[in-house]
Amino acid sequence: MTTHVLPARSEIAPEHTWNSPSLFESHAAWEAEYVALSDAVPTLPSQFKGRLAEGPAVLADYYDTFYALYIRLGKVYVYAGMFSEVDTADQQAAMMEGRAMGLFSQLIAGISFAEPELLAIGRQTITRWLSEESRLTPYAHYFDDLFRRGEHVRSAEVEEILGLVSDPFGQVPNTASQLANADIKFQAATMQSGESISVEQGNVARHLNSPDRQLRRSAHESYMDGYLAFKNTFASNMIAAIKRDVFYARARRHTSSLEAALFPYNIPEEVFHNLINTFRANLPTWHRYWDIRRRALGLDRLALYDGWAPLTGSSPTVPYTQAVEWISAGMAPLGQEYVDTLRRGCLVERWVDVYPNRGKRQGAFSSGWKGTLPFIMMSYNDTLVSMSTLAHELGHSMHSYLTWKHQPAVYSDYSLFVAEVASNFNQAMVRAHLLKISAEDRNFQIAVIEEAMSNFLRYFFIMPTLARFELEAHERIERGEGLSSDSMIDLMAGLLAEGYGGAFEADHDRDGIMWATFNHLYANFYVFQYATGISAAHALSQGILDGKPGAVDNYLSFLKAGSSLYPLDALKLAGVDMASPAAVEKTFAVMAGYVDRLEKLV
């Protein structure tokens, strides 16, 4: 019996790994900078605490000093994470990342005096200072937002404590990641031929896309059973995360964890509920898709692992370089500068850590900091779905690249709410290009639509379902009720049963442990923003594909805005109003169109 095993990290060619030397030439160079920052960070409070009211020059000096440290520390943090993410068994890297996180927490705790002092100075004085000190001019939106948030900013002492607890609370998602990526040892899966193949975080998605149903079933059961073996540990950790969210909400005097998650970005709670209500109203579209998929696969009942199965026997092979070419062609409407930057990042500057290896953490993400490259981690596997994942992460990275290029440090980040727009936008644009160039190739058309539905499955089905799970779990804790591994499995299994309808054969415990496989749930009310993001993305991409006047310039202005605008305002600048459910409804209509097209093709 043959066994297929992923390569070790040391076997991956350097040109296929991300460019860590662009930050520090060696761990020793990183250590020297860490030591220097360890000496510098504690001096910030002693320089400025109690002095911000002295005048605009002192306040400007404070921001210059803080953001210089902030950018340097970001490079230290990003570099440490680059090694632990691709080899979760690397204990030295784990220690480096922990040390960087601790120092960052110390920096945030050290500036806890600043916002209470600014609120005490008052809006009128701060407004006058903006006209007196040019270095403060870029902070106008920040100050306006600060006074909006004023009632939820606590005293300097409380703010210091809230800053300090971010370090120990940060261990909660780290624990989940270590457990999932380093400690769980998944049983090998079995192919229809009898061959054995390893199941790892880096290859399970490929197994679930296999035409071999025995492999899909075996890999899925191995994967979910790995999580079920630690269900009580995962549950304890998730409960800790939920209680962390409730603690922060109450410490800042919010009425709920949901309000606490949305208030900093000036997003009404109705945006969340609009999504959930529209999702539930459109479940019949999903039920119709499941039935088409079931019939196309020739099955009496679908299982969860059939959701990604190919519907033809000729899924295209897409090498990494071909993926870059197709993505570049799809993004051509945004202009040559955008495309040249993207290609250079993929093929020259080594933004991307491309291929899977043993110990590489699950999933894909874009990361970095102002002053670094916009790095991408993924496990590319020569499929259309993997190409789409690359396009998705490049959307994030180009968003970061343009934000860092055009915004000062204070606005060099952007909210999760807008982050998922740029990523899904890229996928929609590339998908439209592929459908256009393959009009005469039925199998390729089916493969592209399958990829689209795979993306919708993740972002427009699983993520809203996880959001419903997240809301109910938080509300139970807020009401003083208990949670356990079994109650969370029951909740998740019930929500999935509603979403899948009668087409699926339930596997209660394996279906119900799905929540444990998503580290996204450790970020307070993050997952629903994938669904709002894909909605805004399709609305904006359609405008550009239709040649709407000004659509390209408006979208690029959105990418350059960073956090200099509130998320809803930034999206209005791009051309979509997410305060209304219209974009969500429109995107369900787009998905229904794919379902119609797929039914005719298969």
Closest CA to 499 of 536, 458, 540: 458
Residue type, position 454, single letter = S
Distance separating alpha carbons of residues 93 and 41, to the nearest angstrom: 22
Domain coordinates of the chain in residue numbers? Answer: 7-164
3-state secondary structure of 316: coil
Closest CA to 451 of 287, 315, 289: 315
Statement: residue 314 has pLDDT above 80: no
- How far from the centroid of its chain's Cα atoms is residue 107's Cα? 25
The residues assigned a catalytic role are 393
Cβ-in-10-Å burial (0-12, 13-18, 19+) of 49 comes to middle
Statement: residue 381 has pLDDT above 50: yes
Tokens for 219, please give them.
């890999």
Statement: residue 101 has pLDDT above 60: yes
| pLDDT tens-place string over residues 427-479 | 999 999 999 999 889 889 999 999 999 899 999 999 999 999 999 999 999 99
With helix as H, strand as E and coil as C, how does 184-225 read?
CCCCCEECCCCCEECCCCCCHHHHHCCCCHHHHHHHHHHHHH
Lowest mean per-residue pLDDT among 320-324, 453-457, 568-572? 453-457
**Given this model, what pLDDT does residue 1 score?**
42
What is the chain's mean pLDDT, rounded?
94
Distance separating alpha carbons of residues 539 and 67, to the nearest angstrom: 36
Statement: residue 157 has pLDDT above 50: yes
Cβ atoms 563, 529 nearer than 8 A:
no
Statement: residue 158 has pLDDT above 80: yes
Question: Dihedral sign, CA of 575, 578, 582, 584?
Answer: positive
* CATH fourth-level superfamily of 7-164: Oligopeptidase f, N-terminal domain (1.20.140.70)
**Given this model, what pLDDT does residue 4 score?**
66
Closest CA to 233 of 184, 301, 164, 306: 184
Tokens for 491, please give them.
């909740």
Residue 276 vs residue 150, higher pLDDT: 276
Statement: residue 595 has pLDDT above 50: yes
**Given this model, what pLDDT does residue 202 score?**
79
| Predicted confidence band of residue 272 (pLDDT cuts 50, 70, 90) | very high
| pLDDT tens-place string over residues 292-309 | 999 999 999 999 999 999
| Predicted confidence band of residue 526 (pLDDT cuts 50, 70, 90) | very high
Statement: residue 510 has pLDDT above 60: yes
**Given this model, what pLDDT does residue 103 score?**
95
- Residue 188 dihedral angles phi and psi, to the nearest 5°: -65, 150
**Given this model, what pLDDT does residue 3 score?**
54
| pLDDT tens-place string over residues 198-249 | 999 878 988 998 999 999 999 999 999 999 999 999 999 999 999 999 999 9
